[in-house]
Structure 1
Amino acid sequence: MEDGILERDGKRLYRAPALEKGLDILELLAGEEQPLTVSAIVQRLGRSTGELFRMIQVLEHRGFVEQGPAGYVMTPRLFHLGLKRPPVRSMLEQALPIMRQLTIDIGQSCHLGIQTGSDMAVVARMESTAAVGFAVRVGYRQPLHRTSSGAVLYAFQSPSIRGDWERSFQPAPSADELNAFRAQADEIRVTGLGRQDNPCVNGMRDLSAPILRGRQAIAVLTVPFLRLTDSTVSEDAACNAIRAAAAEISSSLAFNDSHA
């Protein structure tokens, strides 16, 4: 290795130590559920306080991390930067008016999720116009293989992509969990819709339909369906509405692709 140059897979990679330290900090915090102090970050990364302290201060100044009473956490800044990428921005532009109409039609909120790493992340939401409702915040993440929307997204992928995702699942599922997830996805592939009790809220059902580009799902539209006593919209009717909304978003994306 020459000074500042790293050889990997036959390619010459130029090193940028300061940038690498900053990325190391972000990758560490991204994988932590609890805040980390400076000393904990230093210990986890095996570097000195002098090496990392200024990096943390710069990341905080630029809004990528923030400090609370218990230590540092990542902010949603990186996530929101990702939403500005043209493919995601275009999808949101097409989806939001349709999502708004869906909430009006069924009196329930909805949200749009995409795959990011081994998680499903909410990239857009539309709150219900009803007096009582449930909404998931933008940026909310859960392991892909533990969500109904993740099963829907996985259901409409090629075998090679499924295999890549399975190897990246965190936390790694047991053999029984993985087999159950595959079976759930195979059923969804036939029905075109995910219907599952929400694991966090009693009495709520997650109804999810794929946003398709060709035969591949690129996102999932989900309604966290509440059985409201004064609602005239049944779960079956909501399923029909979410199918239609997802199909409309898919069609609008296909139309834009053909006229790009």
Structure 2
Amino acid sequence: MTTSEHLKDGHDKEFMTTLAKGLGVLSAFGKQRPAMTLSDAAAAANLSRATARRVLRTLAQLGYVVQDGRAFSLTPRVLELGFAYLSGQDWIDRALPMMKELSERLGESCSGSILEGIEIVYVVRLPARRIMSTALAVGSRLPAFHTSLGRAQLGYLDAAEIWRRLRTAPIGAYTPYTITDMQALFDRVCADREQGFSIVDEELERGLRSIAVPVLDRTGQAIGAINLSAHSTRTTRNEMREKFLPGLAHIAQRISQTPRHG
């Protein structure tokens, strides 16, 4: 949803439109738009040029963007916003050494993510081998309904919310094996919740096979997920269940049992 759509949709009298516009411009920067002119920013955030100019001037004075000629780009200070979130997710720090050991022992990539809308956001990435055509790093996003990390978390939403997100997700065929039927996707998410893990087999990219388990809080709700990924020529689905699943499940269980501080 764009900034303008949020503004039209919002009925909260305490909603700060100026803040929303600023965040809209910040989020418009990315891999496809590492630098933007004033016109670019206005178009990307669906704002007027005058509004985009005020937003960029403010962000520049606060140190979040820098101007070089006509182009604006982000500064390293924006990382503070992301690190502030990650520091509040203590399960990540607790899981990291165990994930690293598991990745090294099995020789496969191990990752962790959180669910945001219809996407997953990587919060941990331990690549053992280059198995995807696109390099992934912390902060990278992928479609939740077509990843094991996403499905492992989506099942903890109620049925109405799963359908709501499913209807807003762009469902397309990434490979010949991608599940594109909405009912079939819903059923798969629910089945994965029942069995306690999710396997996605070459649905997002040819040759990519992964298995994920949810990370639960003390109330039994999913706060994230961890997975192992491998090339389909190196492991079968059954081998993933036999060799990968026990290690992932052990980590997830240990995380939930580790006392929280603070």
Q: TM-score, normalised by structure 2?
A: 0.70
- Answer whether contact 1:98 1:245 (CA < 8 A) is retained: no
Name the counterpart of 2:231. Answer: 226
Q: Does 1:82 align with 2:85?
A: yes
Name the counterpart of 1:217. Answer: 222
- Answer whether contact 2:211 2:245 (CA < 8 A) is retained: no
Name the counterpart of 1:41. Answer: 41
Name the counterpart of 1:101. Answer: 101
Amino acid of the structure 2 residue aligned with 1:171: P
Name the counterpart of 1:112. Answer: 112
Name the counterpart of 1:182. Answer: 186
The 2-side partners of 1:200 and 1:163 are apart by 20
SS at match of 1:183: helix
Name the counterpart of 1:123. Answer: 123
Name the counterpart of 1:193. Answer: 197
The 1-side partners of 2:74 and 2:64 are apart by 6
The 1-side partners of 2:201 and 2:15 are apart by 50
Name the counterpart of 2:139. Answer: 139
SS at match of 1:13: coil
User: Would the alpha carbon gap of residues 92 and 39 (structure 1) be closer, same or farther in structure 2, given more than 3 Å must change?
Assistant: same
Deviation at 1:118, TM superposition (A): 2.5
User: Would the alpha carbon gap of residues 34 and 12 (structure 1) be closer, same or farther in structure 2, given more than 3 Å must change?
Assistant: closer
Deviation at 1:209, TM superposition (A): 1.9
- Answer whether contact 2:112 2:224 (CA < 8 A) is retained: yes
Name the counterpart of 2:3. Answer: none
Deviation at 1:208, TM superposition (A): 1.7
- Answer whether contact 2:118 2:144 (CA < 8 A) is retained: yes
SS at match of 2:96: helix
Q: Deviations over 1:204-237 (max 9, x none)?
A: 21222222335432212121212567xxx76544
Between the two proteins, the alignment pairs up a number of residues equal to 239
SS at match of 2:14: strand
Q: Deviations over 1:103-124 (max 9, x none)?
A: 1221111100111232111100
User: Would the alpha carbon gap of residues 46 and 16 (structure 1) be closer, same or farther in structure 2, given more than 3 Å must change?
Assistant: closer
Gap runs ≥5 in structure 1 = 1-7
Gap runs ≥5 in structure 2 = 1-9, 173-179
Deviation at 1:181, TM superposition (A): 1.1
- Answer whether contact 1:211 1:246 (CA < 8 A) is retained: no
The 2-side partners of 1:106 and 1:183 are apart by 31
Q: TM-score, normalised by structure 1?
A: 0.71
Name the counterpart of 1:250. Answer: 252
User: Would the alpha carbon gap of residues 23 and 248 (structure 1) be closer, same or farther in structure 2, given more than 3 Å must change?
Assistant: same
Amino acid of the structure 2 residue aligned with 1:59: L
- Answer whether contact 2:111 2:122 (CA < 8 A) is retained: yes
Amino acid of the structure 2 residue aligned with 1:224: S
The 1-side partners of 2:61 and 2:120 are apart by 28
The 2-side partners of 1:69 and 1:127 are apart by 38
